Homo-oligomer: A and B are copies of this chain.
Amino acid sequence: MEVTSRYVTIKHHITGSPKQSDFEVKTANLFLSLDTGSNDVLVKNLYVSIDPYQLNRMKEYSASQMASEYALAVLPGQAINAYGVGRVIASANPSYIKDDMIVGLIGWEDYTLVRGKDVIMIRKLDSTEFPLSYHVSALGLSGLTAYGGFFNVCKPKKGETLFVSAASGSVGNIVGQYAKLFGCYVVGCAGTKQKVDLLTDKLGFDAAFNYKKTTDLNSTLKRYFPDGIDMYFDNVGGEMLEAAVANMSMFGRVAVCGVISEYTDAKRRAGPNMTEVVYKRITIQGFLASDYMNDFGDFLSTTSDHIQNGRLHVIEDISHNLESIPLAFEGLFAGDNIGKKIVQIADN
């Protein structure tokens, strides 16, 4: 079995914000080993995730860095793997048959040949009660990041206050919705009026503000949180983290799952006031969705139930065609997307 597959790659390592012109579309031939012992699965990709962290993989790193935390660095010309949903078109693996729908690590490409050793990175979608794209957004890693970060890292108590940055983004909007359902006071910030309105009018946030219209973050946060921020879900780092720490209450928790301000500018690094971290006994904790894979079952059933009963809105921003991936990725860093950014590569 062989298919010709287009894939998106970087022309060169990227410094600063990514531009469409940093990418190109190439073509590869993928061969499925017909031997059952290979356990390979050939997947036609339908929806793929567009995430800011991918930029970190596209930078130039020293060999020692690549060998450690940035093990999945992308080289120019290589295909770029990404989370997504696809349909099995051929299988040499006894667990999968043609037309099975799967979710997991596929790529920014028409087809992904999932090698036998990598089959653990995908799983079968048993149910099709929701639109397939939901498995990339609220029921996928974005949802799990929100779930693990809010429940396990923030460790909320009913009635506590939560501030979430990039609140209309893929993870932030879900964190805010979980927090409201849990019984917290929730304020988010975002970068346009349309996003801010979405947060308060549709998603039920107690308040939201446009950080681009804010001259003094510190006093803005003080106004929204006169008694302090108990939990800050941080997607951006930098000055927002600094201002949030300055406004935290005693024993406040900061969950950090992304640092967009550092991704595009390594030098821009406003630091939190550590004296406040000490006096207020603040905990700042970095985490990744993968830390909470053991909770995936709980996460999926809880979140599915919320969606089914109309308590949780799934906010997606879907573009179409493989060729639109570079623009979609560039747009992430310009704040173009509302909700989870996804590209639909094929209809079925």
Name the residue on B nearest A280 (C-beta). B69
- Known A271-B269, A275-B262; judge A286-B280 contact (CB<8 A): yes
- Complex partner residue of A272 from B271, B279, B288, CB under 8 angstroms: B271
A284→B278 CA distance, assembly (Å): 10
Please tell me which one of the listed residues B257, B274, B285 contacts residue A241 in the complex, with CB atoms under 8 A apart: B274
The number of times this chain is found in the oligomer is 2
Contact at A257–B285, with CB atoms within 8 Å?
no
List the B side residues contacting A257 at CB < 8 Å: 278
Q: Say which size band chain A's interface belongs to.
A: 35 or more
- Name the residue among A275, A277, A281 with the largest chain B CB count within 10 angstroms: A275
Residue A259 interfacial (CB < 8 Å): yes
Residue of B nearest to A255 (CB): B278
| Minimum Cβ distance to chain B for residue A245 (Å) | 10
A160 smallest CB distance to B (angstroms)? 18
Interface residue ranges of A156-191 to B (CB < 8 Å): none
| B283 and A273 form a contact (CB under 8 A) | no
Once the chains bind, are A283 and B281 in contact (CB under 8 Å)? no
The 4 closest A-B pairs by CB, nearest first: A271-B271, A277-B286, A278-B286, A259-B274
